[in-house]
Amino acid sequence: MSKDLSTLPLDELWQLFPIIIREHDPVWEKWYQEESRLLTGLFPEDIVRLSHIGSTSVKGLSAKPTVDLLLEITPGCNLARLRASLEKNDYIYSPQRKKPAPHMMFMKGYTGEGFVPPVYHLHVRYPGDWDELYFRDYLRAHGDIAAQYGVLKKQLAQKYTYNRDAYTHAKTEFIQSHTKAARREFPGRY
């Protein structure tokens, strides 16, 4: 019987959805393209920019096989309609209480049996100068830094396989340092 994800405690969720790092797979770009077609069809009038972010967007970089998308929406977007439409298309809403409105996060490919690919994280925000875009571009431009990041992620995945919060926290210093460098290298890009 499939588990109801909304009722599971955090430790059980982490067991069901461990941190797994894979070598880069070109299928991730295909997944992004397919999902971007779906999303642009759902909200054509509300999309300012849709971007493939995260490690799967950097060729050659090891990553969790989860495609991260940044959906920037118009300030007048009907958020209730957006949420309902995404939920009708198999997305699970994940509240982001500590992040500025309208930061909404949705996940797809998460089931009571574990991951079912393709797996997506959709970050919904108003237009902005987002760190994730700079970090992605910096990794794309600096293969040596991307390689270092890949090694770090593999080490952390072994250490924190069943603790997503600790895994994410342990990457923070590296990400912030290189995002600052990216903002110096690409000032005002976004």
pLDDT tens column, 70-99: 999 999 999 999 999 999 999 999 887 777
Distance CA 1, CA 155 (A): 34
**Looking at domain 5-185, which of 3.40.50.300, 3.30.460.10, 3.30.70.260, 3.40.50.2300 is its CATH number?**
3.30.460.10
> How much is the pLDDT for 123?
96
Cα-Cα-Cα-Cα dihedral sign, residues 39, 41, 42, 44: positive
Q: Where are the chain's structural domains?
A: 5-185
> How much is the pLDDT for 2?
64
pTM value? 0.93
> How much is the pLDDT for 1?
53
Distance CA 38, CA 183 (A): 31
The DSSP symbol for 116 reads E
pLDDT tens column, 31-84: 999 999 999 999 899 999 999 999 999 999 999 999 999 999 999 999 999 999
